[in-house]
Amino acid sequence: MDQSLFKEICGTFPTGVTIITSKKNNIDYGFTANSFTSVSLCPLLVLFCLDKNAKSNEALNKNEFFIVNVLSKTQEKICFQFANSELSPKERFENISTKISKKGIKIISNSCSFIECKIKEKFDGGDHYIYIGECLNGEINDEIKDPLIYHRGKIL
């Protein structure tokens, strides 16, 4: 199977859109990810995948912390800002409203929810790394009802 058919097939599966945020050496990092999923209830684990060439890998080592921000339908612009590989880590956060988590990581305001995690494992996954995180805390924004959805190459 070639890559374009593979991507097209995977694109038929709708996914939510998240922004993963982290921090290292006083630099805030963030990127858009639709590869987020829950893994286990005991212990509470989630995973996401990140291209091996992404700058955010610098902040994602074992025992480091990250936030999964589940984007709302109104945050399409933010989704594309954090997906832009031409932007520096600092530029990705420009004009984005945030608050700070217990571990000092930026939480994207007005998202559907967030989960704060500690990295437990990192695995090789071809051209990506697979990160497993232990969930420490989180919050649901009851005022936001509609998540941002990615399906067939489009944001819905």
60-94 pLDDT per residue, tens:
988 899 999 999 999 999 999 999 999 999 999 99
Is 156 part of a structural domain of the chain? Answer: no
Instruction: Read off the tokens for 132.
Output: 């497993």
Q: Is residue 15 part of a domain?
A: yes
Q: Give the count of domains, the chain.
A: 1
pLDDT score at 62: 86
Residue 153 lies inside a defined structural domain of this protein: no
Q: Is residue 18 part of a domain?
A: yes
pLDDT at res. 37 = 96
110: left (phi over 0), alpha (psi -120 to 50) or beta: left
Q: For residue 33, what is the domain's CATH number?
A: 2.30.110.10
**Residues of the chain scoring pLDDT < 50:** none
Q: What is the pLDDT of residue 28?
A: 96
pLDDT at res. 115: 98
pLDDT of residue 120: 96
Supply the range of the domain harboring residue 42: 3-148
Euclidean distance between CA atoms 142 and 46, whole angstroms: 22
- 29 assigned to some structural domain: yes
Question: In whole angstroms, what separates CA 100 from the centre of its chain?
Answer: 16
With beta carbons less than 8 A apart as the criterion, state whether 114 and 108 touch. yes
pLDDT for the residue 81: 98
pLDDT of residue 138: 97
* pLDDT value of residue 61: 87
Residue 11 belongs to some domain of the structure:
yes
Q: Do the domain assignments include residue 154? A: no
